[in-house]
Structure 1
Amino acid sequence: MDSALSRTSRPQVVYLPETPHERFKILIAGPLGIGKTTAIKTVSEIQTLHTDEIMTTAAAGTDEVAHQELRAKTTTTVAIDFGRLTLEQAGIILYLFGTPGQRRFRPLWDDIAEGALGALVLVDTERLKESFEVMDLIEERGLPYTVAVNAFPHSRTVNPHTLRTKLDLDDHTPLVVCDARDKNSTLDALIALTAHLISLAGDTPS
Protein backbone atom coordinates (compact mmCIF):
# COMPACT_ATOMS: atom_id res chain seq x y z
CA MET A 1 0.00 0.00 0.00
CA ASP A 2 1.31 3.42 -0.91
CA SER A 3 0.99 5.43 2.28
CA ALA A 4 2.41 8.89 1.85
CA LEU A 5 2.19 12.48 2.90
CA SER A 6 0.46 14.74 0.44
CA ARG A 7 2.97 16.27 -1.94
CA THR A 8 0.53 18.60 -3.65
CA SER A 9 0.87 21.20 -0.91
CA ARG A 10 3.17 21.62 2.06
CA PRO A 11 1.49 23.64 4.82
CA GLN A 12 3.68 25.20 7.47
CA VAL A 13 4.06 23.22 10.67
CA VAL A 14 1.12 24.04 12.94
CA TYR A 15 1.36 22.77 16.50
CA LEU A 16 -1.60 22.00 18.70
CA PRO A 17 -2.66 25.03 20.73
CA GLU A 18 -1.55 25.15 24.34
CA THR A 19 -4.96 26.31 25.54
CA PRO A 20 -7.69 23.70 26.15
CA HIS A 21 -9.67 22.74 23.06
CA GLU A 22 -12.46 20.27 22.47
CA ARG A 23 -11.37 17.54 20.05
CA PHE A 24 -13.81 16.10 17.51
CA LYS A 25 -13.18 13.12 15.25
CA ILE A 26 -15.04 13.79 12.01
CA LEU A 27 -15.61 11.53 9.02
CA ILE A 28 -15.48 12.94 5.50
CA ALA A 29 -17.65 10.46 3.63
CA GLY A 30 -19.16 9.85 0.22
CA PRO A 31 -18.88 7.65 -2.86
CA LEU A 32 -15.88 7.16 -5.12
CA GLY A 33 -14.51 10.36 -6.64
CA ILE A 34 -16.78 12.72 -4.71
CA GLY A 35 -13.96 14.97 -3.44
CA LYS A 36 -13.15 13.61 0.02
CA THR A 37 -9.37 13.66 -0.45
CA THR A 38 -9.54 17.11 -2.04
CA ALA A 39 -11.65 18.53 0.80
CA ILE A 40 -9.23 17.34 3.47
CA LYS A 41 -6.18 18.59 1.59
CA THR A 42 -7.90 21.93 1.08
CA VAL A 43 -8.56 22.73 4.74
CA SER A 44 -5.93 20.78 6.67
CA GLU A 45 -3.48 22.87 8.67
CA ILE A 46 -0.98 20.00 8.64
CA GLN A 47 0.47 17.97 5.82
CA THR A 48 -2.17 15.40 5.01
CA LEU A 49 -1.79 11.65 5.15
CA HIS A 50 -3.36 9.68 2.34
CA THR A 51 -3.40 6.03 1.27
CA ASP A 52 -4.02 5.77 -2.44
CA GLU A 53 -3.62 2.85 -4.83
CA ILE A 54 -3.58 2.78 -8.60
CA MET A 55 -6.93 1.68 -10.05
CA THR A 56 -6.54 -1.39 -12.26
CA THR A 57 -8.74 -3.49 -14.51
CA ALA A 58 -9.48 -5.68 -11.49
CA ALA A 59 -11.90 -2.98 -10.38
CA ALA A 60 -13.88 -3.16 -13.62
CA GLY A 61 -17.47 -4.01 -12.84
CA THR A 62 -16.90 -3.19 -9.17
CA ASP A 63 -16.10 0.52 -9.23
CA GLU A 64 -18.36 2.61 -11.43
CA VAL A 65 -16.13 5.11 -13.23
CA ALA A 66 -18.18 5.77 -16.34
CA HIS A 67 -19.31 9.19 -15.14
CA GLN A 68 -17.47 12.04 -16.84
CA GLU A 69 -15.91 13.29 -13.59
CA LEU A 70 -14.39 9.83 -12.93
CA ARG A 71 -13.03 8.90 -16.35
CA ALA A 72 -9.65 10.49 -15.66
CA LYS A 73 -9.43 9.05 -12.14
CA THR A 74 -6.37 6.80 -11.76
CA THR A 75 -6.15 6.27 -7.98
CA THR A 76 -8.53 5.50 -5.15
CA THR A 77 -8.30 5.74 -1.37
CA VAL A 78 -8.00 2.25 0.14
CA ALA A 79 -7.57 3.13 3.82
CA ILE A 80 -7.84 6.73 5.01
CA ASP A 81 -7.11 10.34 4.33
CA PHE A 82 -6.22 12.30 7.44
CA GLY A 83 -5.92 15.98 8.23
CA ARG A 84 -6.39 18.37 11.13
CA LEU A 85 -8.14 21.70 11.45
CA THR A 86 -8.30 24.06 14.44
CA LEU A 87 -11.37 26.29 14.79
CA GLU A 88 -9.71 28.73 17.15
CA GLN A 89 -12.68 30.96 17.89
CA ALA A 90 -14.83 27.96 18.77
CA GLY A 91 -12.06 26.31 20.80
CA ILE A 92 -12.36 23.13 18.73
CA ILE A 93 -9.88 20.87 16.94
CA LEU A 94 -11.24 18.69 14.15
CA TYR A 95 -9.47 15.46 13.25
CA LEU A 96 -10.61 14.71 9.71
CA PHE A 97 -10.77 11.11 8.50
CA GLY A 98 -11.60 10.49 4.85
CA THR A 99 -13.17 7.08 4.30
CA PRO A 100 -13.08 4.78 1.24
CA GLY A 101 -16.17 5.17 -0.90
CA GLN A 102 -16.58 1.56 -2.07
CA ARG A 103 -18.70 -1.06 -0.32
CA ARG A 104 -15.92 -3.68 -0.31
CA PHE A 105 -14.13 -1.58 2.31
CA ARG A 106 -17.02 -1.87 4.80
CA PRO A 107 -14.98 -3.59 7.57
CA LEU A 108 -12.35 -0.87 7.35
CA TRP A 109 -15.07 1.79 7.31
CA ASP A 110 -16.45 0.44 10.58
CA ASP A 111 -13.01 0.69 12.21
CA ILE A 112 -12.46 4.25 10.99
CA ALA A 113 -15.89 5.32 12.19
CA GLU A 114 -15.20 4.17 15.75
CA GLY A 115 -15.19 7.18 18.05
CA ALA A 116 -16.37 9.66 15.41
CA LEU A 117 -18.79 12.33 16.58
CA GLY A 118 -20.25 13.09 13.17
CA ALA A 119 -19.75 13.11 9.42
CA LEU A 120 -19.66 15.48 6.49
CA VAL A 121 -21.25 13.62 3.59
CA LEU A 122 -20.28 14.90 0.14
CA VAL A 123 -22.79 14.38 -2.67
CA ASP A 124 -23.04 15.21 -6.36
CA THR A 125 -26.41 16.21 -7.80
CA GLU A 126 -25.64 14.06 -10.85
CA ARG A 127 -24.92 10.95 -8.75
CA LEU A 128 -27.25 11.16 -5.76
CA LYS A 129 -28.04 7.43 -5.71
CA GLU A 130 -24.37 6.62 -5.17
CA SER A 131 -24.51 8.42 -1.80
CA PHE A 132 -27.36 6.33 -0.36
CA GLU A 133 -25.16 3.46 0.82
CA VAL A 134 -22.76 5.73 2.69
CA MET A 135 -25.62 7.63 4.30
CA ASP A 136 -27.17 4.32 5.37
CA LEU A 137 -23.90 3.28 7.03
CA ILE A 138 -23.71 6.57 8.91
CA GLU A 139 -27.33 6.39 10.03
CA GLU A 140 -26.91 2.77 11.16
CA ARG A 141 -24.13 3.93 13.49
CA GLY A 142 -26.34 6.73 14.78
CA LEU A 143 -23.89 9.43 13.68
CA PRO A 144 -25.25 12.93 13.09
CA TYR A 145 -24.16 14.40 9.79
CA THR A 146 -24.31 17.33 7.44
CA VAL A 147 -24.75 16.91 3.69
CA ALA A 148 -22.53 19.07 1.48
CA VAL A 149 -23.33 19.27 -2.24
CA ASN A 150 -19.94 19.43 -3.94
CA ALA A 151 -20.11 21.98 -6.76
CA PHE A 152 -18.63 20.10 -9.71
CA PRO A 153 -18.49 22.02 -13.02
CA HIS A 154 -21.06 19.66 -14.57
CA SER A 155 -23.46 19.65 -11.61
CA ARG A 156 -27.00 20.89 -11.99
CA THR A 157 -28.41 23.36 -9.50
CA VAL A 158 -31.18 21.59 -7.63
CA ASN A 159 -33.72 23.20 -5.32
CA PRO A 160 -32.80 22.43 -1.68
CA HIS A 161 -36.31 21.12 -0.95
CA THR A 162 -36.04 18.76 -3.93
CA LEU A 163 -32.62 17.59 -2.75
CA ARG A 164 -33.93 16.90 0.73
CA THR A 165 -36.74 14.87 -0.74
CA LYS A 166 -34.47 12.88 -3.05
CA LEU A 167 -31.99 12.19 -0.23
CA ASP A 168 -34.77 11.56 2.30
CA LEU A 169 -33.16 13.91 4.80
CA ASP A 170 -34.62 14.70 8.19
CA ASP A 171 -35.60 18.32 8.65
CA HIS A 172 -32.84 18.84 11.24
CA THR A 173 -30.03 17.54 9.00
CA PRO A 174 -28.08 20.53 7.60
CA LEU A 175 -27.76 20.77 3.81
CA VAL A 176 -25.09 23.08 2.38
CA VAL A 177 -23.30 23.68 -0.91
CA CYS A 178 -19.51 23.69 -1.07
CA ASP A 179 -16.60 23.50 -3.46
CA ALA A 180 -14.08 20.97 -2.10
CA ARG A 181 -11.30 22.84 -3.93
CA ASP A 182 -12.02 26.10 -2.10
CA LYS A 183 -10.77 26.46 1.47
CA ASN A 184 -13.38 28.93 2.69
CA SER A 185 -16.22 27.00 1.10
CA THR A 186 -15.13 23.69 2.63
CA LEU A 187 -14.45 25.38 5.95
CA ASP A 188 -18.02 26.73 5.96
CA ALA A 189 -19.35 23.21 5.44
CA LEU A 190 -17.30 21.89 8.36
CA ILE A 191 -18.44 24.79 10.55
CA ALA A 192 -22.05 23.93 9.69
CA LEU A 193 -21.43 20.34 10.79
CA THR A 194 -19.67 21.47 13.98
CA ALA A 195 -22.52 23.83 14.86
CA HIS A 196 -24.95 20.95 14.28
CA LEU A 197 -22.98 18.68 16.63
CA ILE A 198 -22.81 21.36 19.31
CA SER A 199 -26.54 21.98 18.98
CA LEU A 200 -27.30 18.28 19.40
CA ALA A 201 -25.00 18.07 22.41
CA GLY A 202 -26.90 20.95 23.98
CA ASP A 203 -30.16 19.07 23.46
CA THR A 204 -28.80 15.96 25.21
CA PRO A 205 -30.03 15.61 28.78
CA SER A 206 -27.15 15.78 31.29
Structure 2
Amino acid sequence: MASANSVEPAAAPLEEPAYLPATVQSAVKILVTGPFGVGKTTLVGSLSEIAPLRTEETMTAAGAGVDDLTWRTDKTTTTVALDFGRITLNPRLALYLFGTPGQQRFWPLWDDLSRGALGAIALVDTRRLEESFDVLGRLEEQRIPFAVAVNTFPGSPEHPEEALREALDLLPEVPILSCDARDRRNSYDLLIDFVAHLHSTAVLELQP
Protein backbone atom coordinates (compact mmCIF):
# COMPACT_ATOMS: atom_id res chain seq x y z
CA MET A 1 0.00 0.00 0.00
CA ALA A 2 1.15 3.51 -0.71
CA SER A 3 1.98 5.91 2.07
CA ALA A 4 -0.95 8.03 3.19
CA ASN A 5 1.34 11.02 2.79
CA SER A 6 1.29 10.46 -0.97
CA VAL A 7 -2.41 11.24 -1.24
CA GLU A 8 -2.96 14.23 -3.49
CA PRO A 9 -6.16 15.39 -5.14
CA ALA A 10 -6.49 14.76 -8.84
CA ALA A 11 -8.29 18.08 -9.04
CA ALA A 12 -8.71 20.89 -6.54
CA PRO A 13 -12.05 20.78 -4.71
CA LEU A 14 -14.87 22.41 -6.62
CA GLU A 15 -13.01 22.49 -9.96
CA GLU A 16 -15.97 20.76 -11.46
CA PRO A 17 -15.13 17.84 -13.78
CA ALA A 18 -18.34 16.63 -15.39
CA TYR A 19 -17.20 13.01 -15.37
CA LEU A 20 -14.80 10.87 -13.42
CA PRO A 21 -11.31 10.73 -14.90
CA ALA A 22 -10.72 7.58 -16.96
CA THR A 23 -7.91 6.61 -14.56
CA VAL A 24 -10.27 6.12 -11.59
CA GLN A 25 -10.43 2.43 -10.73
CA SER A 26 -12.39 2.43 -7.49
CA ALA A 27 -14.91 4.55 -5.62
CA VAL A 28 -15.50 4.60 -1.88
CA LYS A 29 -18.63 5.61 0.00
CA ILE A 30 -18.10 7.91 2.99
CA LEU A 31 -20.88 9.08 5.31
CA VAL A 32 -21.00 12.63 6.65
CA THR A 33 -23.27 12.35 9.66
CA GLY A 34 -24.22 14.03 12.91
CA PRO A 35 -27.21 15.62 14.63
CA PHE A 36 -29.52 18.28 13.24
CA GLY A 37 -27.86 21.57 12.29
CA VAL A 38 -24.25 20.49 12.87
CA GLY A 39 -22.96 21.42 9.40
CA LYS A 40 -23.24 18.24 7.30
CA THR A 41 -24.69 19.96 4.21
CA THR A 42 -22.05 22.69 4.49
CA LEU A 43 -19.19 20.16 4.72
CA VAL A 44 -20.36 18.15 1.72
CA GLY A 45 -20.72 21.37 -0.25
CA SER A 46 -17.24 22.52 0.73
CA LEU A 47 -15.65 19.26 -0.38
CA SER A 48 -17.55 18.33 -3.51
CA GLU A 49 -15.90 18.91 -6.89
CA ILE A 50 -19.31 18.67 -8.56
CA ALA A 51 -22.44 20.65 -7.79
CA PRO A 52 -23.71 18.79 -4.71
CA LEU A 53 -27.11 17.13 -4.70
CA ARG A 54 -29.18 18.50 -1.83
CA THR A 55 -32.62 17.56 -0.57
CA GLU A 56 -33.32 20.54 1.65
CA GLU A 57 -36.77 21.77 2.52
CA THR A 58 -37.78 25.02 4.15
CA MET A 59 -38.47 24.64 7.84
CA THR A 60 -42.04 25.51 8.80
CA ALA A 61 -43.76 26.58 11.99
CA ALA A 62 -44.98 23.00 12.39
CA GLY A 63 -41.39 21.86 12.89
CA ALA A 64 -40.63 24.42 15.55
CA GLY A 65 -41.92 22.16 18.30
CA VAL A 66 -39.99 19.17 16.94
CA ASP A 67 -36.58 20.55 15.96
CA ASP A 68 -34.62 22.35 18.66
CA LEU A 69 -33.38 25.62 17.15
CA THR A 70 -31.27 26.61 20.16
CA TRP A 71 -27.97 27.97 18.78
CA ARG A 72 -29.49 27.67 15.28
CA THR A 73 -31.84 30.64 15.09
CA ASP A 74 -30.66 31.49 11.56
CA LYS A 75 -31.35 27.99 10.19
CA THR A 76 -34.23 28.02 7.69
CA THR A 77 -33.84 24.70 5.84
CA THR A 78 -33.24 21.07 6.78
CA THR A 79 -32.07 17.98 4.89
CA VAL A 80 -34.93 15.49 4.46
CA ALA A 81 -33.19 12.73 2.50
CA LEU A 82 -29.49 13.18 1.76
CA ASP A 83 -26.69 15.37 0.54
CA PHE A 84 -24.42 13.92 -2.13
CA GLY A 85 -21.03 15.06 -3.38
CA ARG A 86 -17.95 13.63 -5.03
CA ILE A 87 -14.23 14.28 -4.81
CA THR A 88 -11.47 12.61 -6.85
CA LEU A 89 -8.85 12.03 -4.19
CA ASN A 90 -6.11 10.79 -6.50
CA PRO A 91 -6.01 9.59 -10.13
CA ARG A 92 -7.26 6.13 -9.13
CA LEU A 93 -9.64 6.79 -6.24
CA ALA A 94 -12.86 8.75 -5.91
CA LEU A 95 -14.86 9.35 -2.76
CA TYR A 96 -18.64 9.58 -2.81
CA LEU A 97 -19.88 11.68 0.11
CA PHE A 98 -23.33 10.96 1.53
CA GLY A 99 -24.65 13.46 4.05
CA THR A 100 -27.34 12.01 6.30
CA PRO A 101 -30.42 13.70 7.78
CA GLY A 102 -29.94 14.71 11.38
CA GLN A 103 -33.37 14.19 12.90
CA GLN A 104 -34.51 10.84 14.30
CA ARG A 105 -37.70 10.87 12.22
CA PHE A 106 -35.51 10.44 9.11
CA TRP A 107 -33.44 7.58 10.50
CA PRO A 108 -34.97 4.87 8.28
CA LEU A 109 -33.19 6.75 5.47
CA TRP A 110 -30.02 6.82 7.58
CA ASP A 111 -29.96 3.01 7.65
CA ASP A 112 -30.21 2.83 3.86
CA LEU A 113 -27.56 5.49 3.33
CA SER A 114 -25.10 3.80 5.68
CA ARG A 115 -25.21 0.49 3.81
CA GLY A 116 -21.88 -0.14 2.11
CA ALA A 117 -20.12 2.86 3.69
CA LEU A 118 -16.41 2.34 4.25
CA GLY A 119 -16.33 4.93 7.01
CA ALA A 120 -18.03 8.00 8.46
CA ILE A 121 -17.14 11.51 9.55
CA ALA A 122 -19.34 12.34 12.55
CA LEU A 123 -19.65 16.09 13.04
CA VAL A 124 -20.24 17.40 16.55
CA ASP A 125 -20.97 20.81 18.05
CA THR A 126 -19.36 21.35 21.45
CA ARG A 127 -22.30 23.55 22.51
CA ARG A 128 -24.60 20.51 22.41
CA LEU A 129 -22.53 17.34 22.64
CA GLU A 130 -25.42 15.32 24.06
CA GLU A 131 -27.19 15.48 20.69
CA SER A 132 -24.40 13.38 19.14
CA PHE A 133 -24.84 10.33 21.37
CA ASP A 134 -27.48 8.59 19.25
CA VAL A 135 -25.57 9.00 15.99
CA LEU A 136 -22.31 7.76 17.50
CA GLY A 137 -24.15 4.82 19.01
CA ARG A 138 -25.59 3.85 15.62
CA LEU A 139 -22.16 3.97 14.01
CA GLU A 140 -20.78 1.71 16.71
CA GLU A 141 -23.71 -0.71 16.39
CA GLN A 142 -23.21 -0.97 12.64
CA ARG A 143 -19.43 -1.23 13.07
CA ILE A 144 -18.73 1.59 10.67
CA PRO A 145 -15.24 3.04 11.26
CA PHE A 146 -15.58 6.72 12.06
CA ALA A 147 -13.82 9.84 13.19
CA VAL A 148 -15.35 12.61 15.27
CA ALA A 149 -14.94 16.04 13.69
CA VAL A 150 -15.53 19.06 15.92
CA ASN A 151 -17.11 21.73 13.73
CA THR A 152 -16.19 25.19 14.96
CA PHE A 153 -19.01 27.67 15.45
CA PRO A 154 -18.77 31.25 16.74
CA GLY A 155 -18.69 31.07 20.50
CA SER A 156 -18.16 27.29 20.64
CA PRO A 157 -16.36 26.25 23.84
CA GLU A 158 -13.01 24.51 23.38
CA HIS A 159 -12.27 21.34 25.33
CA PRO A 160 -9.14 19.21 25.66
CA GLU A 161 -9.24 16.06 23.56
CA GLU A 162 -9.39 13.75 26.58
CA ALA A 163 -12.35 15.66 28.00
CA LEU A 164 -14.18 15.34 24.68
CA ARG A 165 -13.33 11.66 24.46
CA GLU A 166 -14.71 11.07 27.93
CA ALA A 167 -17.84 13.17 27.34
CA LEU A 168 -18.63 11.29 24.11
CA ASP A 169 -17.54 7.90 25.55
CA LEU A 170 -15.23 7.23 22.60
CA LEU A 171 -12.91 4.27 22.25
CA PRO A 172 -9.18 5.12 22.13
CA GLU A 173 -8.92 4.25 18.43
CA VAL A 174 -11.53 6.81 17.36
CA PRO A 175 -9.71 9.95 16.18
CA ILE A 176 -10.94 13.39 17.19
CA LEU A 177 -10.37 15.97 14.47
CA SER A 178 -11.51 19.55 14.01
CA CYS A 179 -12.71 21.62 11.08
CA ASP A 180 -14.52 24.70 9.93
CA ALA A 181 -17.03 23.18 7.51
CA ARG A 182 -17.42 26.53 5.75
CA ASP A 183 -13.76 26.59 4.71
CA ARG A 184 -12.89 24.51 1.64
CA ARG A 185 -9.20 24.03 2.45
CA ASN A 186 -9.90 23.24 6.07
CA SER A 187 -12.57 20.71 5.10
CA TYR A 188 -10.20 19.09 2.63
CA ASP A 189 -7.51 18.75 5.30
CA LEU A 190 -10.09 17.04 7.50
CA LEU A 191 -10.91 14.58 4.72
CA ILE A 192 -7.24 13.79 4.12
CA ASP A 193 -6.71 13.13 7.83
CA PHE A 194 -9.72 10.81 7.85
CA VAL A 195 -8.56 8.91 4.77
CA ALA A 196 -5.11 8.56 6.34
CA HIS A 197 -6.80 7.07 9.42
CA LEU A 198 -8.70 4.53 7.29
CA HIS A 199 -5.45 3.70 5.52
CA SER A 200 -3.53 3.25 8.78
CA THR A 201 -6.14 0.82 10.07
CA ALA A 202 -6.08 -1.16 6.78
CA VAL A 203 -9.69 -0.27 6.03
CA LEU A 204 -8.73 1.57 2.84
CA GLU A 205 -5.95 0.70 0.43
CA LEU A 206 -4.45 3.69 -1.31
CA GLN A 207 -3.18 2.96 -4.80
CA PRO A 208 0.07 4.65 -5.90
Provide TM-score, normalisation by structure 2: 0.86
Tell whether the 8 Å contact from 2:24 to 2:94 is kept in structure 1 after alignment.
no
Q: Give secondary structure in 2 for the equivalent of 1:71.
A: coil
- For residue 95 of structure 1, what is the amino acid of its counterpart? Y
2:54 pairs, out of 31, 50, 57, with: 50
Residue 134 (str. 1) matches residue 135 (str. 2):
yes
Higher RCO (Cα < 8 Å, 6 or more apart): 2
Tell whether the 8 Å contact from 2:36 to 2:101 is kept in structure 1 after alignment.
yes
CA distance in 2, matches of 1:109, 1:122: 15
Residue 25 (str. 1) matches residue 29 (str. 2):
yes
Tell whether the 8 Å contact from 2:29 to 2:97 is kept in structure 1 after alignment.
yes
Q: Give secondary structure in 2 for the equivalent of 1:201.
A: coil
Q: Could you tell me how far 1:53 is from its partner in structure 2?
A: 0.9
Provide TM-score, normalisation by structure 1: 0.87
CA distance in 1, matches of 2:76, 2:116: 31
1:48-197 matched pairs, under 5 angstroms: 48-65=52-69, 67-68=70-71, 70-88=72-90, 91-197=92-198
Tell whether the 8 Å contact from 1:11 to 1:47 is kept in structure 2 after alignment.
no
Q: Give secondary structure in 1 for the equivalent of 2:127.
A: coil
Alignment gaps of 5+ in structure 2 = 1-13
Tell whether the 8 Å contact from 1:53 to 1:76 is kept in structure 2 after alignment.
yes
Q: Identify if the C-alpha distance between structure 1 residues 82 and 140 changes in structure 2 by more than 3 Å, giving closer, same or farther.
A: same
Cα RMSD for the two superposed structures: 1.7
Residue 36 (str. 1) matches residue 50 (str. 2):
no
Deviation readout 1:68-99 (Å, 9 max, x if unpaired) = 2x11111100000000011117x421100000
Tell whether the 8 Å contact from 1:178 to 1:185 is kept in structure 2 after alignment.
yes
Q: Identify if the C-alpha distance between structure 1 residues 199 and 64 changes in structure 2 by more than 3 Å, giving closer, same or farther.
A: same
Tell whether the 8 Å contact from 2:118 to 2:203 is kept in structure 1 after alignment.
no
Q: Give secondary structure in 2 for the equivalent of 1:58.
A: helix
- For residue 55 of structure 1, what is the amino acid of its counterpart? M
CA distance in 2, matches of 1:199, 1:148: 18
Q: What is the aligned-residue identity percentage?
A: 52
Q: Alignment length, in residue pairs?
A: 191
CA distance in 1, matches of 2:134, 2:65: 17
